Amino acid sequence: MKRALLTTACILAATAASAGEDSTLSIEGEDYITQTAAPEHMEYVDTIYSGWTFRTDETQALQMDDFDNPAFVFLDQAIDQWDTVEGSEGKSCSSCHEDVADFAGLKTSLPRVENGELVTLTNLVNECVTERMGSKEWKYSGAKMSGMTALIAHQSRGMTMNVKIDGDAAPFWEQGKELYYQRVGQLDMACSNCHEDNYGNMIRADHLSQGQINGFPLYRLKNAKINTTHGRFKGCMSNIRAVPFKEGGPEFKALELYIASRGQGLSVETPAVRN
Ligand code: HEC
Ligand code: HEC
């Protein structure tokens, strides 16, 4: 069935559904920060909320029990991958890195600038895969990479997002901000039109969140796999009928830094569960 093109006004129903603002995300006895004061650089928002806040009770519950959380099947696969020898050097991740738990805290500070370039967790893993293992680059949002980055980001679960946005990071952050507010596609919409102006409202059957990335990589019920930030950005751009930027490309990396900075102070939830 062909869907009629809709404008901002009519796809965003006026009814504000209640965000579960009073519910607490607690996993294995630990409470997570799912709402907090917005960082100073955000002009139009007072409080930031994790995407978890906007999901149904059922979806929320899946994330509150690691046994029920379907993402952990993929994390287990990544644990196997961690010990798998690959590439011309005959090495596995565990040949050089003692314990994946040593990466605790890493996700809170990514993306970050290294030698004048913005690097994501995916870039860091691929640097080891290609340069240190002598293997072929893993596909940016492929199954192997999304599982491994989820496993590594999971080591930071419960820690608060804290990316650097000044100094050498500033130009990338500015670029990301510009992209966030830039209208694109046939629907002529910006990320901000949905995730800043209309969070809490319903869009078709979906409850709009602030589009935070503190839970990524995360499991989506919709496609039953681990989804990456860039994969999600791509999906949102396609939904507004824009030609998405390339996963792993400079635009999405800059956008990732900017959006990470809009979540400063929220707990890392990886692997979160979403619809
Ligand atoms: C030949 C040794 C070697 C292998 C094999 C290797 N790494 Fe690394 N890795 C390093 C070194 C050296 C660094 C840079 C120094 C550091 O941060 O530990 C690094 C850095 C990293 C970082 C960034 C850490 C940070 O704090 O900046 C990540 C993430 C990482 N490796 C993941 C992996 C994964 C996943 C694999 C397997 C797919 C892997 N590495 C395989 C040696 C290796
Ligand atoms: C037409 C409205 C719309 C626009 C414009 C839009 N999105 Fe979304 N986005 C959604 C909907 C609907 C969802 C699913 C419900 C939710 O989490 O908000 C979503 C989800 C997300 C999520 C997942 C949040 C989570 O916690 O799982 C991220 C991240 C995201 N969007 C980023 C973006 C970015 C970046 C842009 C701009 C390139 C953008 N979106 C533009 C509608 C939109």
Domains in the chain, CATH or no CATH each: 24-88+100-275 (1.10.760.10)
Contact (CB, 8 A) for 54 and 272: no
Residues with CB under 6 A from ligand 1: 91, 93, 95-97, 103, 106, 124-125, 128-129, 132-133, 148, 152
What separation in angstroms does the CA of 189 have from each of 160, 184, 185, 195? 30, 5, 7, 11
CA–CA gap between residue 136 and residue 249 (Å, rounded): 18
151-183 pLDDT, tens digit per residue, is 999 999 999 999 999 999 999 999 999 999 999
For ligand 2, atom 27, name the residue with the nearest CA.
Answer: 51
Looking at residue 269, its amino acid is E
Model-wide pTM > 0.75: yes
CA–CA gap between residue 11 and residue 202 (Å, rounded): 9
Catalytic residue, chosen from 10, 96, 128, 236, is: 236
Contact (CB, 8 A) for 132 and 91: yes
For ligand 2, atom 24, name the residue with the nearest CA.
Answer: 211
CA–CA gap between residue 52 and residue 34 (Å, rounded): 7
5-41 pLDDT, tens digit per residue, is 344 444 444 344 445 556 899 999 999 999 999 999 9
Catalytic residue flag (residue 93)? no
Quickly state the pLDDT bin for 258 (edges 50, 70, 90).
very high
